[in-house]
Structure 1
Amino acid sequence: MLTSNGYVLSQRPERFGSLQPVPDGERADRSALWQRLDDDGYLYLPGFLDRQVVEDFRRYYFDRLAPAGLTETGGSKDDLDQSTLRRVLFREIVPGRAYDDFCRQPKIVDFFGWLLADDVHLHRRKILRHTRPGDTGIGQATQAHYDLLYLREGTAQVLTIWIPVGDCPVERGSLIYLEGSHRWVQAEEAAGRLQRPAASITADLPGLADDHDARWLATDFRCGDVMVHTSQIVHAALDNVDPDRVTRLSTDIRYQRVSDRIDARWQHDWHDRDGL
């Protein structure tokens, strides 16, 4: 049974399906990738990053947060020293060199430079999320939203790369996408029906799928896989119900052309109380 914020997702074929990977033959074809972004709103790129590089950063993350009681497996909220966790996460890891280097791997920078055909800018506000089994209920998993809701003061052509830092099968709380949602989002945007202030659409993912007669798309991500998506496609996260009690860790970062308008609010280090 898959849930998000406690809501049970239907796995009927008309409401649940699989993300489709970019075929190997299209990975070096810029036009084909842009066509996929237009058609699907996302690029699923299995094995895009060096697995060892990703595993090394995962190890660094949990090593740094071990004094706070955060572990890769097991644990509960009662085990955490929240003061230490917040200090290490927001004062050391987020603004630190190791995280920035991870987000600026040549494989990532070169890919976006090639795809966008321009010099590229990485938004300084880069988000890390860990979710442990049992961290369920409203507000735990990322609710349904599209990124442009939070990036109103910059270009709509910003692209997000979501990186599972370690294996992330669906039961571990992987990211999921509402099929075809970028089309109705684009229509609403064009009609001027903008959500202000920025806010998630809903925590009720089954209800949203019913409202739009659409499927949630998911896959079992492996370490090294990435998702690249547009700022208009609706996505969310599942609850971590991993029977092996492995903590889910991921990061989502954003690249755009340097020649496009940049949202100044996203040029500061991420903090969960920054209001964005």
Structure 2
Amino acid sequence: MLTSNGYVLDPARVGALEPVPEHERHDRDALWERLRRHGYLYLRGHLDPAAVNAFRAFYLDRLGVGGPAELPPDRLRQVLFKEIVPGPEYAAFCSQEAVRGWYAWLLGGAPFLHRRKIIRHVKPGQRGVGTATQAHYDLVYLREGTDQVLSSWIPLGDCPLSRGGLVYLEGSHHAVRAKEAAGLLRHPAASITADLPALAEEYDSRWLVADYASGDMVVHSAYLVHAALDNRDPDGVVRLSTDIRYQSAAQPIDWRWQHDWHDRDGL
């Protein structure tokens, strides 16, 4: 059973996220065509799992997350937002050659990494609305820059379905783009809903899911609706992930995103 913020997904409205086939991995034109068609690129094994797991260990050890030495909430926020988020370890991870170099190749020019980068950890058993990332599309938070900004969602460690990874509403980028062009969706930056089953019905679509492994990366359009599942891991493993955003340095940049992420940044 898959849930998000306590809502149970209808199995008839669930499908599989499609990985980029090996013969397309080094074909830039094919990747852009796939991105336009599906709204995402599921790149399995794109990163070195050792590098991913090393950063996971650094993060969990520094905060004590999931262990007996976990920092109290106030101290945890201080270390997260004052030390880890602006720190050299996180900067190096987000700018590693497999990420920054790949974006330079895909974009065909100098890439620009938005400074506002987010790390999320979710413990098993957390329930209720607001626990898991609600359904949204990224453009509502990035309106002052190009709509060609691309998001990378990276699971920091293995993330099977039970651990609560990201899910994508199939084909939603086409409908959202059309509604945006018609001026029907220009509301303040906010999530759409926590009720994923109802949204799938509204769009007559499916939520695409995957058993992610350490080293996977998903790149998605700013128009594609996505959300997260609840962490129901039977072994009590913390789900850790990061989402970062790259674009061409030649395109307009939303300068509100050029500050380090913190819990009161209003975005």
Range into which the TM-score falls when normalised by the shorter chain: over 0.9
- Alignment partners' CA distance in 1, 2:228 and 2:213: 16
1:125 is matched with: 116
CA distance in 2, matches of 1:178, 1:161: 16
Corresponding residue pairs, total: 266
**Residue type of the alignment partner of 2:164:** G
Matched ranges for 1:96-135 at <5 A: 96-135=87-126
> What SS does structure 1 have at the residue aligned with 2:227?
strand
| Corresponding residue SS for 2:79 | helix
1:16 to 5, 14, 17: 14
CA–CA separation in structure 2 for the residues paired with 1:35 and 1:127: 28
Which structure 2 residue ranges, 5 or more long, are not aligned? none
Give the 3-state SS of the residue equivalent to 1:206 in structure 2.
helix
Q: In structure 2, what is the equivalent of residue 5 of structure 1?
A: 5
- Whole-angstrom CA distance in 1 between matches of 2:196 and 2:89: 35
Q: Which residue of 2 aligns with 1:158?
A: 149
- Describe the SS at the equivalent of 1:192: coil
Alignment of 1:76-91 (within 5 A): 81-91=72-82
1:206 aligns with 2:201: no
Matched with 1:33 is 31
Letter in 1 for 2:74: S
Partner Cα separation in structure 2 for residue 192 and residue 120 of structure 1: 29
For residues 110-137 of structure 1, give each alpha carbon's deviation from its aligned partner in whole angstroms, at most 9, with x where no partner exists.
1101111110100000000000001111
Identity %: 62
**TM-score normalised to structure 2 length:** 0.98
Whole-angstrom distance in 2 between the partners of 1:36 and 1:120 = 20
Deviation at 1:192, TM superposition (A): 1.2
CA–CA distance in 2 between the matches of 1:64 and 1:88? Answer: 8
Partner residue, 1:71: 66
Amino acid at match of 1:87: Q
Partner residue, 1:59: 57
Question: In structure 2, which of residues 241, 257, 260 is the aligned counterpart of residue 269 of structure 1?
Answer: 260
SS in 2 for 1:236: strand
Task: Please show how residues 42-57 of structure 1 align to structure 2 within 5 Å.
Answer: 42-57=40-55
Question: TM-score, normalised on structure 1?
Answer: 0.95
- Match of 2:134, SS state, is coil
Q: Which runs of 5+ in 1 are unaligned?
A: none
User: Aligned residue for 1:240?
Assistant: 231
